[in-house]
Amino acid sequence: MQVPSSDDMLARFLALHPRKIDLSLGRMCELLAKLDHPERRLPPVIHVAGTNGKGSTVALLRAMLEAGGRRVHVYTSPHLVRFHERIRLAAQGAGQLVDEATLIDAFARCEAVNAGAPITVFEITTAAALLLFSEIPADVLLLEVGLGGRFDATNVIDHPLAAVITPVSMDHPDYLGTTIAEIAAVKAGIIKAGSPAIVAQQSEEAMRSIEREARRLVVSPCVAERDFFVRAENGRMIFEDARGLLDLPLPRLAGRHQIENAGLAIATLRQVDPTLPVSAYEQGLLHADWPARLQSLARGTLVDRAPKGAEIWLDGAHNEAGGRVLAAAMGDFEERRTRPLVIICGSLSTKDTAAFLRNFAGLAQEVLAVPVHGEHGGRTAQEVAALAQAAGLASAACESVEQALDYLAARDWPVAPRVLITGSLYLAGEVLAANGTPPA
């Protein structure tokens, strides 16, 4: 009898999906009870919610903790190329992505006890991840929220080591709310009584919602630009809190926003792991890696198709706030070295693509629109091109990223361009797969 692959099992899970998604923890709690509550046997959990910067903050936390000798489990979503990217299992020195046999075994155990009951794919796969995290020793589990916070499948941890909230902005209004205040209230649902909360700098309305929830739980949050400060200065990163000042290297992760993410990670670890040496922060900043977040593509099948000498950047940003920080990074790059900026953009129909692209008006020379393939509700290239024009950008529709790069390569460039491929994490995954450089 042929053993099913993890992809086969994921397809089976999709068939169990409830007819209507109701954000609640009922199905998740029932499944975890049938698994004998793995969520109660986890290593200490740092729970991370927010709209933008969750994954980068988790990557920085992992790099710093591992540099300090800690064994770290990691749970993130979505994946870029393979589901296995979501589950990183701790090992001495550095963790490893879950292997196929281990993943299939965890899926099979969850499928058996679920016994065909309605459940979302994210719920049953999160249960499988928690099962593995409960069985393999680690010092810390970094747990990233999938959607929202309060009713997310990850929010089954009663006493986390810390709750971390990255910047909150508009995203998923169909599920989380139509105002920043409503969305922030949902994100703040990961805060728990008796556990510290560390919060990135927020808009006033987001901070009011977060602080209201913290007061209800008698938690005094540690807040950026009030309780800790971070800035770039003379090519270094300066972090300061009540314990003192740290003079550190700039993050390896590109973009000024990564300085803020790094500050949030350091503030968290200063709260929960005070014996972590400064050298761990230094090494973590220098070695943190997070694919498709201002990732420089220097080699690969797609890179070979680009104009000679071109810079190729890949970023999965897809909402207005993400576009704002991405445009700021492109502006910084332009100040350091002038190049024409061309954006290759694909987007999902659920995203405000025009608002995302408006950030690049006056900065990008043009947008080459491409489709996002697969069953993700992607916009057509023609739709993205029209939205780019509405945002004040010259645009053209292409059938694929490959065609867009060929189109650019056929031109005569006095100065090789800076090419930014962006608009969707699903597109970023397609690019990494086609380029032959998937996450490891």
pLDDT at 19: 67
At 318 the pLDDT is 87
Q: Classify domain 6-287 at the CATH superfamily level.
A: Mur-like, catalytic domain (3.40.1190.10)
Q: Secondary structure of the chain in the HEC alphabet? A: CCCCCHHHHHHHHHCCCCCCCCCCCHHHHHHHHHCCCHHHCCCCEEEEECCCCHHHHHHHHHHHHHHCCCCEEEECCCCCCCHHHHEEECCCCCCEECCHHHHHHHHHHHHHHHCCCCCCHHHHHHHHHHHHHHHCCCCEEEEECCCCCCCCCCCCCCCCCEEEECCCCCCCHHHHCCCHHHHHHHHHHHCCCCCCEEECCCCHHHHHHHHHHHHHCCCCCEEECCCEEEEEECCEEEEEECCEEEEEECCCCCCCHHHHHHHHHHHHHHHHCCCCCHHHHHHHHHHCCCCCCCEECCCCCCHHHCCCCCEEEECCCCCHHHHHHHHHHHHHHHHHCCCCEEEEECCECCCCHHHHHHCCCCCCCEEEECCCCCCCCECCHHHHHHHHHHCCCCEEECCCHHHHHHHHHCCCCCCCCEEEEECCHHHHHHHHHHHCCCCC
**Tell me, what's the pLDDT at 21?**
65
From 2.130.10.10, 3.90.190.20, 3.20.20.370, 3.40.50.300, which CATH number describes the 295-435 domain? Answer: 3.90.190.20
Q: What is the pTM of this model?
A: 0.94
Per CATH, 6-287 and 295-435 having the same topology is answered no
- pLDDT one digit per residue (tens) for the chain, 440 residues: 577 899 999 999 989 988 666 778 999 999 999 999 999 999 999 999 999 999 999 999 999 999 999 999 999 999 999 999 999 999 887 899 999 999 999 999 999 999 999 999 999 999 999 999 999 999 999 999 998 999 999 999 999 999 999 999 987 777 788 899 999 999 999 999 999 999 999 999 999 999 999 999 999 999 999 999 999 999 999 999 999 999 999 999 999 999 999 999 999 999 999 999 999 999 999 999 999 999 999 999 999 999 999 999 999 998 898 999 999 999 999 999 999 999 999 999 888 999 999 999 999 999 999 999 875 688 999 999 999 999 999 999 999 999 999 999 999 999 999 999 999 999 999 999 999 999 98
Q: What is the pLDDT of residue 174?
A: 76
Q: Where are the domains of the chain?
A: 6-287, 295-435
